[in-house]
Structure 1
């Protein structure tokens, strides 16, 4: 028996035999084709079209966010520029396989250099290229194995096309050697309540059929466990299932300190599930869905209809709506179509809204009108606020349009460091830990090559959370968390210990966070947070918090 460590997602524990993702197809050799360029072109176009249709079909079956990702991949496969690149190579006498490999690789490097949203899409190109080459070779498309029995899936990482349709009756758990707590795989695992450990670098040594225990709560994979270890893991899994089935109670610590547990939502249609899973309101409602698929801004009437649907689902409950957060990884032609070398540091969030103020005014008008005909407690916040002046601008405008509670998102270090001044004006603050980590660590949150830096456990990030919470306490203003960090049960305890007054997350994470909070008092949370703050890096902070949170009989 041996163990390996990674970043656990949630509190789950599972056991079973390993099934590894197949290794990527070998790169085609640069050899001359035995076919005419016309024949090679026909082969390639058939293969590309077939792969695009398959991706669209998978997206239609999966629905939701997965459908959007897969449809984007299908469009990418048939991109005219990429088609021209492939044709140039085929006309030069290359095989279809090599032409696809080389053209996709060149296109991928170009997108990766752009960073942000396009940088993330570059990683998806590898998966599309592999599927097209497999089709040309007459081989099965790379993807999730099917050994004919339930299994623990082990991979370097998972492509969106694979994660979208995972059979949760067969996939007992996920282990990846790459990725971090905000990777695509980690986010999927939280959304679907899959037991997962990401970033377990030693997972490359696991073999098909090898029995493992995946303990997400501890971030440990145990290989070749004893019968006693398997029995203990099974007992823990059953206890967790029983806890999940227990009556839902409001979020609170063991000493009765209330910590409201809220949901992150992207569309009104997700409200019912959130309520069923115990959400006490909404801590982040992303309004981008109304804008991203449109060629022009939606009307006030269209917006009001969607906001009313959302607010009606939470009578008497707090619903925090984020004003349109466009730019960077969410470009909108009608808002800001100017090319930017580094859009993550450009005209995004509130900056973009100020440049097109009519869009902001229309959104605030629609929200106020929806609030007037519903019973929810509407809070509205501005994205990417970086200073006091921006705070004054947004809060004044929101109040002018009839919004009673107006706040800001803290996503950049400047706003965290100035929180005591910002919260003199803002009615509340909500910390977006994904972007706060990105800007603190100077690591693009969508770029796999720097994923190891994108860890909200880093003490530098935690200190900024504390600075923001201290600013809220000084002014008597609430400070919530709405980034992925809140979905990590132990990190949720740390965030409360740092002064967070509410936590918002994917609805499927609510049960684990609720259960973990109930095992610690406020004094415990502060002690655990202090242990994490004293560390030098993210991994050490996580380990220190785990040690501080362990039952006293388990501490040395």
Structure 2
């Protein structure tokens, strides 16, 4: 069959595809694509009634095996990878999905067909709910594909192990696949779906793999051809010529050398201090950040990630021991701990998560305390015990009102700790002045702030530009929050994915943000870029960005000021 004109154009040397930048950096290599899933013939012969019990047992064994492997991978992973792998493992044991498959098998449907049909049913429901639930469609299909492969006795679908450094192209990647990537072999990543705050982008950022998402036309690019992925501009260049590659790599290597030479502390070129901190989820992550990066402390300790696989609430003493590991990794330095951000796509087995029509807008984060304040009280007791008199900073997620902030701050101060809150809801950004009357600091979570401000599903390729952290409307709320902090004389940090973009970190400094907290692999790049810019240039870049109307204009405006 002859190639179509579109295929020919896409494979032509120098052809450029455009997507949304997700992880800065440049990679040049040959392409690979994920292994296909095991096909299922939906018009299959019914299982005889005498064999249905065995068919059900076969299905349960397959689902159990998949869940076990995902949990084992979660235990070996770190950072955001642990979170999403644990959530996927929970999907393999989800009572609703299992029940739908069991019901179909009981009527004679083969296990593989029943699994696919149940997945299609739940995927339709998740899409209808939108938001964070819609994001889980890719995850659920991944779990189903693994179960189907297990039923067939076939290898799990996923990423092949390349013999040499390669660039991975895919429609989208399940967290289980992204979390298992070897950054020494997968040196670049591009997807036709997803957004800059999707699970794929977040894990790629943690691994330091240059990544572009929502790339138009990527599905037509085959495996086995050379491409250049530019995670800074969002370009994928097909068959780039040697001169183009040499020019791009020369620029990139100069930036990499500057990054490698940076040893902290965080400051602009003219000495204005901006703390550069690390996001962690446990003691191992905190120790790695301390040993491998110049991070000055922890700006976000995600406590819920310690307990995603727990069916019962850990005792105060057990919690305290876990928290103490993180505190001990940075003795005498800043540590900001977030109370449980449970609910929506991060349910906890020991919390009372009721069925909700739209969990992303439901009872999550601090709202769980209104239903069961004892969980929050015990967690704060554990934090205070682990702090042992140290003035640790403690913040609550999903604060929407000044009244919520006041109530939380009272509980924190009773235990000798420093209270703050997350700014993730537009209402909180608009009420920042009133909230600051009750707390000592704010930390902006740009992932949720972008999603709630733009009313956009982070997994939708069609809406990827709306969840771009460079969206001027989102940055206007960040700027407003930072201004409220300056007026009150209280620090305002950013701990969302926006802070991990080195040029955007400079813009945040220009807004008046006092600290940025990022995944450990991004610490040096952010610190080095801040050190290359003056405070005046950061402020001019910030003003230029706020005068733009879309993310592309915002990036260009910042680059025109910050690029030497």
The two structures have a TM-score, normalised by structure 2, of 0.88
The CA deviation string for residues 351-375 of structure 1, in whole angstroms up to 9 with x for no partner, is 322443333333333333333355x
Q: Following TM superposition, by how much is the alpha carbon of 1:74 offset from its aligned partner in structure 2, in angstroms?
A: 4.6
Q: 1:510 to 1:111 in 2, by over 3 A?
A: same
Q: Following TM superposition, by how much is the alpha carbon of 1:450 offset from its aligned partner in structure 2, in angstroms?
A: 5.1
Q: State how far apart, in whole Å, the 2-side matches of 1:172 and 1:303 are.
A: 37
2:271 aligned with 1:256:
yes
1:17 corresponds in structure 2 to 30
1:385 corresponds in structure 2 to 399
Q: Secondary structure in 1 aligned to 2:261?
A: coil
Q: Secondary structure in 2 aligned to 1:348?
A: coil
Q: Secondary structure in 1 aligned to 2:528?
A: helix
Backbone CA RMSD of aligned residues: 2.9
2:298 aligned with 1:286:
no
Trace 1:445-524 onto structure 2 (pairs within 5 A). Answer: 445=458, 451-524=464-537
Q: State how far apart, in whole Å, the 1-side matches of 2:29 and 2:214 are.
A: 19
Q: State how far apart, in whole Å, the 2-side matches of 1:350 and 1:14 are.
A: 41
Trace 1:231-250 onto structure 2 (pairs within 5 A). Answer: 231-250=246-265
Q: Secondary structure in 2 aligned to 1:430?
A: strand
1:213 corresponds in structure 2 to 228
1:353 corresponds in structure 2 to 369
Trace 1:311-326 onto structure 2 (pairs within 5 A). Answer: 311-326=327-342
Q: Following TM superposition, by how much is the alpha carbon of 1:31 offset from its aligned partner in structure 2, in angstroms?
A: 4.2
Q: State how far apart, in whole Å, the 1-side matches of 2:468 and 2:260 are.
A: 31
Which portions of structure 1, spanning 4 or more consecutive aligned residues, are displaced by more than 6 angstroms? Answer: 446-449
Number of aligned residues: 547
Between 221-230 and 391-400, the greater mean CA deviation after superposition: 391-400
Q: State how far apart, in whole Å, the 1-side matches of 2:203 and 2:431 are.
A: 34
2:93 aligned with 1:60:
no
> Unpaired segments of 5 or more residues in structure 1?
552-556
2:348 aligned with 1:336:
no
Q: State how far apart, in whole Å, the 1-side matches of 2:99 and 2:407 are.
A: 48
Between 96-105 and 412-421, the greater mean CA deviation after superposition: 96-105
Q: State how far apart, in whole Å, the 1-side matches of 2:396 and 2:111 are.
A: 49
2:546 corresponds in structure 1 to 533
Task: Check whether the contact 2:83–2:305 (CA below 8 A) recurs between aligned residues.
Answer: no
Task: Check whether the contact 2:300–2:517 (CA below 8 A) recurs between aligned residues.
Answer: yes
Q: 1:343 to 1:103 in 2, by over 3 A?
A: closer
Q: State how far apart, in whole Å, the 2-side matches of 1:334 and 1:147 are.
A: 41
Q: 1:468 to 1:306 in 2, by over 3 A?
A: same
2:416 corresponds in structure 1 to 402
Q: Following TM superposition, by how much is the alpha carbon of 1:466 offset from its aligned partner in structure 2, in angstroms?
A: 0.9
Q: Following TM superposition, by how much is the alpha carbon of 1:134 offset from its aligned partner in structure 2, in angstroms?
A: 4.2
The CA deviation string for residues 247-276 of structure 1, in whole angstroms up to 9 with x for no partner, is 512111122211110111111221111112
Task: Check whether the contact 2:24–2:230 (CA below 8 A) recurs between aligned residues.
Answer: yes
Task: Check whether the contact 2:70–2:88 (CA below 8 A) recurs between aligned residues.
Answer: no
2:204 corresponds in structure 1 to 189
The CA deviation string for residues 56-84 of structure 1, in whole angstroms up to 9 with x for no partner, is 33542561354564455455345565455
Task: Check whether the contact 2:84–2:199 (CA below 8 A) recurs between aligned residues.
Answer: no
Task: Check whether the contact 1:175–1:200 (CA below 8 A) recurs between aligned residues.
Answer: yes
Trace 1:80-95 onto structure 2 (pairs within 5 A). Answer: 81-90=96-105, 94-95=109-110
Q: State how far apart, in whole Å, the 1-side matches of 2:115 and 2:375 are.
A: 42
Q: 1:41 to 1:325 in 2, by over 3 A?
A: same
Q: Secondary structure in 2 aligned to 1:209?
A: coil
Between 215-224 and 80-89, the greater mean CA deviation after superposition: 80-89
Q: Secondary structure in 2 aligned to 1:245?
A: helix
Q: State how far apart, in whole Å, the 1-side matches of 2:212 and 2:335 are.
A: 32
